[in-house]
Structure 1
Amino acid sequence: MDSEALKNIVRMIATHGLQIEPKALEKLSEFDQDTLYTAVDKILSKVMERGDYIITLNDVEEYFEKRREKVEVSVAVKQVLAKELESKLEVLFDPTDKIHGGDSVENFYKYFKSRFKKLEKILRRRMDVRGSTTISDVLKASLKSHVKFIGMVTEKVKRKGFKIQLEDLESSITVIIPENSDRKLIEKAFIVLQDQVICVSGIKVSEDVVLADDIIFPDIPDHKARRSDEEVYAVLTSDMHVGSKLFMEKCFEKFLRWLNGLEGSEPFRELAGKVKYLLVCGDLVDGIGVYPGQDRELAVDSLTQQYKLVADYFTKIPEHIETVIIPGNHDASRQALPQPAIFRKYSEPLYSLNNVRILGNPCWISIHGVDVLMYHGRSLDDIIAYVPGLTFREPEKAMEILLKARHLAPIYGLRTAIAPEAEDYLVIETEPTIFHSGHVHVAKHKFYRNSLIVNSGAWQEQTDYQKRNGLKPVPGVIPIVNLKTLQIIYIDFRGSGLEARAEAL
């Protein structure tokens, strides 16, 4: 076993807050690379179920022994495959039939009022926000009194500290954070976003100015992640970009062969047999006229024909695998969020497939009892550009900021178009077990307060537009999630064979 594979295993274990004894790691090195990740996945599951934090030599030896016994009695034991399990897919929220649009001043007022009221309600559920008042009450408070209030950010300026303008439904106020403030407060100020709703506590220093001592985000709470009772897997993917000359056709066909159990060694085929769900987070096609110079990179210049090709690929997905599709900014849907499902007039062949659900962006689903928030991720462009230190190589960090803000597109007026609906459907009203996005073309994941954040990569090689904008994709490496344990394995489809990894990069 090579040292890089063992390093990947240590990282995989550390990602879940666990450690491994040196002797246990040495024992694991006796596995061949094809079976190593399956072994670690099962050992992790057992250790986490009993509430321990260290993988011991005994844990590994027990797995060795059970694996040997399984081989000896394999004739009498039948493996439960995904095709033998009943589908448990439930659509919890789909914006398609709820959105109406409009661009009047009244529409915008209703939209931002809805955003404020929803996030204010979430904030007021927090213990550290209790006792907060309106901005009007703060304006009436005496000087040097300690105040706490909720407001929406209308302006943030960094100049020897931060100056933040907040308003609620009645009044506005200025918040000052000096550059010599507590380090944690400065760190919070850096990730405060335009148009997000926050709570501020501090000292009133003049009629309409507060010197902040804390910023409180709506944030998701620590929570118990919902998991499946059965060992089934979900493949998370996005950004196929069919129709582009840079679509990785051969890799995607290899992926389809793997789903059918026709690619890879026995452990890979065994894993494929446990896949019950395929979640596709937008940009199925490259579209037409999406970015400057795109026409030079198109292999298919008909939107209808692009979707016909997608449908042809999806007919090769085993019937027992439930597929859920949402649109991205390259797909045939309106560009403003929330997006309705892909327009049927361009994608009729997709709608005719029995095992495919086509929903809007964003949507909430439940698969085998595990709730999943699917969002294509267009606003990640804005978050990465707005917050210092963020890069496209680490989309999971930008996704974490969205969970802290409890909103999928907090910033209005940048690259992400937002429709002024009467209700803000982009507020994250409950904590997701899995938060799945794409758009950035880099496969990464992390756990945040027991929510699994996954950006699922792509099937398109680097475009000239991406080169000019400094975006280096990691295509053809796909995350697969065990819904019983929430463990992730990445499979790299780019080489002559298949390669399993703990991390995509």
Structure 2
Amino acid sequence: MPLESNARIVRELAGRGYNAEREAVTLLANEPDPATAIDAAVDKAPDDALRITADHVRAVTKNRSRDSAEVSDRSTRSGDNSTGTDVSTDRSPVETGGSPSESDRAGGTGRSQTSGAERRSETPRSGNSPASHSPSDSAQREISVGNDMTGHSTGTGEYADFVRTFRDRYERLSKLLRGRVNHRPAEAIADMPGGSDAAMIGLVNDVRSTKSGHWLVELEDTTGTFPALIMKDKGLADVVDEILLDECLAVEGTLADDSGILFADSLHFPDVPRTHQTGAADRHVQAALISDVHVGSDEFMADAWSRFTDWLHTPEAEPVEYILLAGDMVEGVGVYPNQDEELEIVDIYEQYEVFAEHLKEVPGDTEIVMIPGNHDAVRLAEPQPGFNDEIRKIMDVHDAQIVSNPATVTVEGVDVLMYHGVSLDEVIAELPEEKASYDEPHKAMYQLLKKRHVAPQFGGHTRVAPEERDYLVIEDVPDVFHTGHVHKLGWGKYHNVLAVNSGCWQAQTDFQKSVNIDPDAGYAPILDLDTLDMTVRKFT
């Protein structure tokens, strides 16, 4: 069987239970008889090997070359001058910039830029043509994970656990605000004389409008609660409509004559400093930011995924040494009503087995980090721990790092906050459309950065598990904020933090039609870790 492309070589190896390093695939593709070379490499690999390496291929091709040289010498003497050929048919996908335009969604190649997003690079930077990976390149790889709570869950669901979680939230977020206001505890403000200037930091206990069109915001700290009145003529209306319950705020103002209420002059969110300085890799290296693969759904776009993995084996993609996958590897079972009618695979373990087969198509020397999502086989309450040992064993062929949702992944000096994104539904439902919408999901992400918490509102769509600490607090400012979940593509910068929602690999389901979700499927944002420039590639 002739194997005329890297992609077919990868699939042949995957069918035999192996993934492979890019260099190994290239060596096999350059062989006069790739099929025979694959047989020899597989035979050469140790019984417990999960990956075909360049060394495995070199070991057999060296012997084959020696044998071929002897045969060639004999053939030359006998007049046989036949030679083998190598045919490569790698395809490059359409390249897009900004959020997808209507023509993109319809299958076109138009480009449009989302409002509020900084202009991104749409073409590979000049002077950075990909070079072959070398041992020194691999030696420069550096990846670490922070805020991973896998194996460290302590919550029992008792009332005291929730108190600990919210106390930790308050303490850590209030520290970010204390340098901006001269705050006092609620009980101390209650004892201050009327007319005094005062400031309080607290979690939002309640927000409601008055008959006169003003807003009453009740803040709670560890000593009690105190109300703040925001007058409609104070110019704070644009800020008030961003407030969510349970988030941490600072309010400055003047106490009423009877000291029973604080007339607000200003509001402060924990926010990201405008002067945030980002990290960068010291070499040209890239990471693919993807999410929501949904293997097991009858709408999983296997062809688009294959085009993506085919491209990863081309010279153009050699700088892509990392893949960061933000949840929903599989479609899951029983996630929404009548989901079984839209499943191609009805067994959750089989879904992960098939996902692992598709993962084999990714170059074996690619570093992969993944977090779970709400369709995955973990608890729904956030933070979500990484998969259990049984599911990890199913996916061990690629040796991916599987960490909790959320988690901070530092890749060669660039801090990437990975969060699946369930709370984006809540933010989009609660805030005005111009500040948060499904068509521009990165704007909803800006709000989470502003609040320094990935799921500030408790008791709504987002389930929160009580732990000794609140793992959902964004204590350290990331360089990149990567989410999924909403199946929409969008990106932009907020105070120098790149926010990316990476779309999905699932075509529109009947359920999505019923809730008016038109997914952006088959896109792969490719991030330059040395510059934080980003190119979005389309594989549909």
Could you tell me whether the CA contact under 8 Å between 1:303 and 1:346 is conserved in 2? no
Deviations 1:270-289 (A, max 9, x none): 2x111010000000000000
1:122 to 158, 176, 184: 176
Identity across matched positions, percent: 36
Distance in 2 between residues matched to 1:122 and 1:111, nearest whole Å: 17
Deviations 1:439-466 (A, max 9, x none): 0111111111111111111001112222
Deviations 1:396-450 (A, max 9, x none): 1111111111111100000111011111111101100011110011111111111
Q: How much does 1:371 deviate?
A: 1.0
Could you tell me whether the CA contact under 8 Å between 1:82 and 1:232 is conserved in 2? no
Deviations 1:142-200 (A, max 9, x none): 11221111111011113413211111111211111122221xx2111111110011100
Task: State the secondary structure of the residue aligned to 1:311.
Answer: helix
Write the mapping of 1:205-284 to structure 2, written as runs, cut at 5 A: 205=256, 206-221=258-273, 222-261=275-314, 269-270=315-316, 272-284=317-329
Sort the Cα spacing of 1:13 and 1:329 in 2 relative to 1 into closer, same or farther, 3 A: closer
Q: CA RMSD in A?
A: 2.4
Which position in structure 2 is the counterpart of 1:442? Answer: 488
Q: How much does 1:334 deviate?
A: 0.8
Which position in structure 1 is the counterpart of 2:36? Answer: none
Write the mapping of 1:436-475 to structure 2, written as runs, cut at 5 A: 436-475=482-521
Which position in structure 2 is the counterpart of 1:385? Answer: 429
1:187 and 2:238 correspond:
yes
Residue 220 of structure 2 aligns to which amino acid in structure 1? E
1:91 to 124, 145, 148: 145
Could you tell me whether the CA contact under 8 Å between 2:116 and 2:492 is conserved in 1? no
Sort the Cα spacing of 1:120 and 1:12 in 2 relative to 1 into closer, same or farther, 3 A: closer
Distance in 1 between residues matched to 2:493 and 2:529, nearest whole Å: 14
Deviations 1:300-340 (A, max 9, x none): 00000000011111112112210011100000111111111
1:368 to 412, 422, 426: 412
1:303 to 326, 348, 370: 348
Q: How much does 1:85 deviate?
A: 3.3
Which position in structure 1 is the counterpart of 2:38? Answer: none
Sort the Cα spacing of 1:239 and 1:13 in 2 relative to 1 into closer, same or farther, 3 A: closer
Tell me which moved more, 469-478 or 213-222: 469-478
1:38 to 96, 120, 123: 123
Residue 392 of structure 1 aligns to which amino acid in structure 2? Y
Distance in 2 between residues matched to 1:181 and 1:81, nearest whole Å: 59
Q: How much does 1:119 deviate?
A: 0.8
- TM norm structure 2: 0.75
Sort the Cα spacing of 1:5 and 1:335 in 2 relative to 1 into closer, same or farther, 3 A: closer
4+ aligned runs moved over 3 Å, structure 1: 4-18, 36-39, 80-85
Distance in 1 between residues matched to 2:160 and 2:490, nearest whole Å: 40
Residue 340 of structure 2 aligns to which amino acid in structure 1? D
Which position in structure 2 is the counterpart of 1:62? Answer: none
Could you tell me whether the CA contact under 8 Å between 2:97 and 2:122 is conserved in 1? no
Deviations 1:21-52 (A, max 9, x none): xxxxxxxxxxxxxxx9435x34xxxxxxxxxx
Which position in structure 1 is the counterpart of 2:539? Answer: 493
1:147 and 2:192 correspond:
no
- TM norm structure 1: 0.80
Distance in 1 between residues matched to 2:423 and 2:326, nearest whole Å: 14
Could you tell me whether the CA contact under 8 Å between 2:483 and 2:502 is conserved in 1? yes
Could you tell me whether the CA contact under 8 Å between 2:97 and 2:113 is conserved in 1? no
1:163 to 211, 216, 222: 216
Which position in structure 1 is the counterpart of 2:462? Answer: 416
Task: State the secondary structure of the residue aligned to 2:507.
Answer: coil
Task: State the secondary structure of the residue aligned to 2:368.
Answer: strand
Q: What count of residue pairs does the alignment treat as equivalent? A: 427
Residue 141 of structure 1 aligns to which amino acid in structure 2? M
2:443 to 397, 401, 419: 397
Q: How much does 1:12 deviate?
A: 9.6
Structure of greater Rg: 2
Distance in 2 between residues matched to 1:234 and 1:413, nearest whole Å: 35
Could you tell me whether the CA contact under 8 Å between 2:97 and 2:535 is conserved in 1? no
Task: State the secondary structure of the residue aligned to 1:490.
Answer: strand
Write the mapping of 1:76-115 to structure 2, written as runs, cut at 5 A: 79=131, 81=133, 84-86=137-139, 87-115=141-169
Tell me which moved more, 338-347 or 247-256: 338-347
Distance in 1 between residues matched to 2:539 and 2:97, nearest whole Å: 17
